[in-house]
Structure 1
């Protein structure tokens, strides 16, 4: 009796794990010569597979800049008179106060390189001697920051490591003032 139960259990387990029936694909757009059992693997997936969601804007409703391999992000916000850059964490959600006195925006205008330095302007939650916010009141920079031809890039050093990222603007002005 004990052997019969074991044999029944083993047969059920084999059927359960292997399944039964026709294994051909039922997708009408699929190649009919390929059955559902055929799998070709060319290697392991890439090590840099992106498995997290990307926010479309920062907490201040500005454009996001990836820094490094997304170790940090910067958020660029501007109005008609000034530009503000916020340094954020890898999820682009929380402020990261850094010990830099300034960040730099490099761009090209009429074929000539230009450089703008934004001074540290500590936010209310920043610790002494550090800042997560950097600002510059400069109408010229404001005029060029959204111009794709100027190719603006942000340069910042965080904990001794230099980072550089492209400033891209989504050109969707609905719902925010920059």
Structure 2
């Protein structure tokens, strides 16, 4: 077998392995409780599978407390909500609480179309609360961060005052880096 034939066979073998791995991960996502796949950019390693659950607005303080007790370097809770005027999952609003440099904060992640569209609305709301969102960029994703004395209360206000959602309406929850629900 010549060198070029050997290289061609190696490329085909590698491509076949990649296709099989993608198929296995896809099958696992479809047939499991996990709804999200995530991996660290710029790092080799297996992806992490995250499942979506639900949390009430009244549970946001306990959620932040659980995140505070976590010790992982990456700790966040992403909350998703819909609005009656735009009920499609594609129009969900994504809110995030996270720890960054040892401090809890609220992140308005500029990734989903709805968050990008509502950026000015969020800035205005935060300023009405006496807070100034600070622009950040990490892993090629832009976001506005608010660090305040009561991150849980601010997050709940975004849900109930900015989006006028009832406090008892469940929010979608995807989290990483801490245990939840607490027993």
Higher helix share: 2
Q: TM-score, normalised by structure 2?
A: 0.33
Structure possessing the higher radius of gyration over alpha carbons: 1
Between the two structures, name the one with larger relative contact order (CA 8 Å, sep ≥ 6). Answer: 2
